[in-house]
Amino acid sequence: MEKKKIGVIFGGCSPEHDVSLESSYSVIKNMNKEKYDCILIGITKNGDWFKFDGDIEDIKNNTWEEKGKCTKVVISTNVSDKGLIDLENNTLIKLDAIFPVLHGKNGEDGTVQGLVELSGIPLVGCGVLSSSLCMDKYVSHKLVESYGIKVAKSIVIGNKTEASELSNKLKELTYPVFVKPMRAGSSIGITKIENENNIKMAIEEAFKYDTEIIIEENVEGIEIGCAVLGNDELTVGEVDEIELSSGFFDYTEKYTLKTSKIYVPARISKEISDKAKETAKQIYKILKCKDFARVDLFLTPQGEIYFNEINTIPGFTSHSRYPSMMKEIGISFDQLVDKLISFNI
């Protein structure tokens, strides 16, 4: 049987470029080489696209631009092509599917998804609508809330918001609050503020990553997550739980776990776990997700579940939460990658 050609997109013009390299490395390494021919497509931090022919260790080590053979390519938007155009050799590389393993802006927000959908090449993962909806923290919250699911109280401000308007809006909230860029992942640009004294500094930090920011009240309790897989029939991995010694699950903690710990399964009752899984499935459907996503929730001491956020391309490193939750229900990393591709070819 002829092997299917799967284009894996890694890197990206995003603050989360380096995280994408680690996730992509794990996906590529666990792809069944007997079934799939992996075509590596790297996007530099400046936004240039290359077909990479080299050792995947160079992707992991962030030396792929220097050590491998990089050929400039673009995705053809002619549906009859269904592939990449090699700009240097003027040749077409046919693809059976594209698997973007990108995080954050310009990769997880619907932009790349739109380009792939225009090409007619099957896309692994969420499409344009769900990607853009889930990336916008405020819009996704309001949509989910309209279905009766609890969310933290929040306000939105733009970089043109007047000081007087900001002051009035902040009066609606109770401290502590989280100040977040509207469209960013991996907790980049997020600050937890205990009182109004440090709010200005936190707002300035968030505006480094977006032109809009969301400020939301803290939800007392623990953070839990659900890995959702599938389309018509959904599979939910074992619920996990984040234990923090202090602060919140910021960028450093997410990728080093210096002072925090993740429990899989979460230390909660089966009743609460089942409730969380059903809530996650409901949110997944509300936000039109496809193939896979990780739904993050808050669980209060009273047993109430709040929607936090949804990651349409969650971390995919060997120690990331999504594959760990799936492993707990018997789906190994290589089986997971195979299932995701098989949804689309």
Query: What is the mean pLDDT of the segment spanning 169-174?
Result: 91
Q: How confident is the model at residue 155 (pLDDT cuts 50, 70, 90)?
A: very high
For the segment 203-260, what is each residue's pLDDT rounded down to a tens digit?
999 998 888 999 999 999 999 999 999 999 999 999 999 997 655 544 444 444 565 7
Superfamily per CATH, domain 132-151+220-342: ATP-grasp fold, B domain (3.30.470.20)
In the chain, what are the helix, strand and coil shares in percent, each to the nearest 5? 30, 30, 40
Query: What is the mean pLDDT of the segment spanning 113-136?
Result: 97
Q: So what's the pLDDT on residue 250?
A: 44
Tokens matching residue 319: 């120690």
* CATH 3.30.1490.20 residue window(s) in the chain: 154-217
Tokens matching residue 266: 């979460």
At the topology level, CATH places domain 4-124 in Rossmann fold (3.40.50)
Q: So what's the pLDDT on residue 87?
A: 97
Domain 154-217, what architecture?
2-Layer Sandwich (3.30)
For the segment 27-36, what is each residue's pLDDT rounded down to a tens digit?
999 999 999 9
* CATH 3.30.470.20 residue window(s) in the chain: 132-151+220-342
Query: What is the mean pLDDT of the segment spanning 55-70?
Result: 92
Residue burial 240-256, b: 16+ Cβ < 10 Å; e: rest: bbbeeeeebbbbebbbe
Residue 196 has pLDDT above 90, yes or no: no
Q: So what's the pLDDT on residue 256?
A: 47
* Rounded Cα–Cα distance for residues 101 and 315 (Å): 9
* Rounded Cα–Cα distance for residues 138 and 146 (Å): 12
* CATH 3.40.50.20 residue window(s) in the chain: 4-124
Query: What is the mean pLDDT of the segment spanning 254-274?
Result: 83
Match 């990607």 to its residue by tokens: 131
Q: So what's the pLDDT on residue 245?
A: 62
Report pTM.
0.92
For the segment 276-335, what is each residue's pLDDT rounded down to a tens digit?
999 999 999 999 999 999 999 999 999 999 999 999 999 998 889 999 999 999 999 999
Strands, E, within the chain: which ranges? 4-11, 36-43, 49-53, 69-75, 83-86, 91-94, 97-100, 150-151, 154-158, 177-181, 191-193, 212-217, 222-230, 234-236, 240-244, 260-263, 291-299, 305-311
Match 């700009």 to its residue by tokens: 87
Q: So what's the pLDDT on residue 150?
A: 98
Find the largest Cα–Cα distance for the chain: 67
